[in-house]
Chains A and B, each alone.
Chain A
């Protein structure tokens, strides 16, 4: 029997399905790709449901979407505690020790990452107009995400954080000092991000470069290198510097269309 491949996450689906059971992307709509190769993140239909492990996730709303997770016994998700919208009373909560407390304080990152365990329901949402981006991670995958952009990760994903290399990148990159790093080991995992505005993704070939406004950077495969590029501009006697993030492939890069501009003087 023919199966339908999801254009976003490449998972195989039964022919009768209208949305991907792994990431929720509509299967009956064409992937929207711009002339230069940026693909729009799939706009998840209201009440779209998809599965991870033995649990389900339902996306509700479109302007500031809510991810409602029905956790099965033995499953858990982690998140920054302020994204919790509501939960059922019986859902047990615990804290994940992230390590590096002093570094996280300096980097303005939360000390405590909350863990919600099944069984029960919990709902998460961020604080501004945007899209929930669902990224299923295959075993052995590494993904770097802009700090404060992740909504939730499933228990099979290892969470850590990496310092952005290079002083120029930290000072002018506009992405902060640290990036969240998500790694899967032997099991697949599911990562939910919240991108402000609309989210676009491009897959870079080895050596291919694209310049991105640092505030617009959302996520990248760890194989993509990120460096700060200074664009010098002159107006009469005055010199101005503007900083862009230079992304070099291979791998995926995700950007958000609403951002705070950083790094010009």
Chain B
């Protein structure tokens, strides 16, 4: 009679493995530490340990470095990954590089997104790194799982993950007439990744530290819009404006100075980074996507 193998479900990536190594083979999180959760429910995503190996299909990915980590792939002949061409750091001559055409070229150019991706096919080694300090996040994806990622966070993905992009649907305007200004706190577009045939590996790069949280159905949380990294497709989002109480009812603080929040609504997982851009707070909101308002 065979003994059933011990199974381990990683609390960070929710994937099952044998748990016999010191790091999760799917996402690189340590298996020998307790999950660190703040009192309010945010779990700190641990940095991938130096030289930790992740496994996908028949290939491995080794992450090294602390400030601007490098993801080095040891590609099997039948495996391939895709990425934006400017993140390629080094490659062996045996790795085949070709272009992966993106749909909607004109809109992508308008949105400042890359017009094409590079596809690298094994066998051989190649390495990818971002161009600013931060953490490399491994997001292993179950079959049919879909997540939305804020633009310019994407580093590399296995080719069994489908890549689409769509409008973020989160925007507002200030001013009117010819002076109307459009604001996109999340960017105009978001990347959507879907694991189609089997599970796949997605690597993102985000500055600062990363925190994750599972929202219950109907649960809300307000975050700085530019701190969002990714969310499950099931998580809804809309803008929320908060106006501070002014000294006088006619104070400009009542209509111009405001806090811009992104409200996320469960169910699903969200990931945020501790570094974010200063939001644009000046100007009276004249229109935009669905939003809520609070006057204090």
Contact = CB atoms under 8 A, between A and B. Distances in A.
Contact of B66 (A43, A210, A236, A240): A43
B28 to A, nearest CB: 14
Contact of B90 (A212, A258, A261, A264): A212
Contacts of A196: 68
A242 B65 CA distance: 26
A197 B92 CA distance: 22
Nearest to A239: B99
Nearest to B132: A258
B23 interface: no
Contacts of B253: none
Contacts of A244: 88, 91
Given A35-B62, A129-B67, A211 B85 contact: no
A260 interface: yes
Contacts of B133: 129, 197, 258
A198 interface: yes
Given A197-B65, A212-B89, A264-B85, A258 B72 contact: no
A34 B116 CA distance: 29
Which 10 A-B pairs give the minimum distances between C-beta atoms?
A: A197-B68, A198-B65, A261-B86, A36-B125, A233-B99, A257-B129, A258-B68, A257-B68, A235-B101, A129-B133
Q: Is the interface of B mostly helix, strand, loop or mixed?
A: strand
Interface size range on B against A: 35 or more
Contact of A255 (B89, B99, B130): B89
B52 to A, nearest CB: 11
Interface of A: 32, 34-36, 38, 40, 43, 63, 129-131, 196-198, 200, 209-213, 216, 231, 233-236, 240, 242, 244, 255, 257-261, 264
B93 interface: yes
B72 A36 contact: yes
A198 B85 contact: no
Given A213-B90, A235-B116, A257-B70, A242 B85 contact: yes
A233 B86 contact: no
9 contacts: A35-B74, A38-B72, A38-B90, A40-B64, A200-B70, A211-B91, A235-B116, A257-B67, A258-B131
Q: Which residue, of A32, A212, A234, A258, has the highest number of chain B Cβ atoms within 10 A?
A: A258
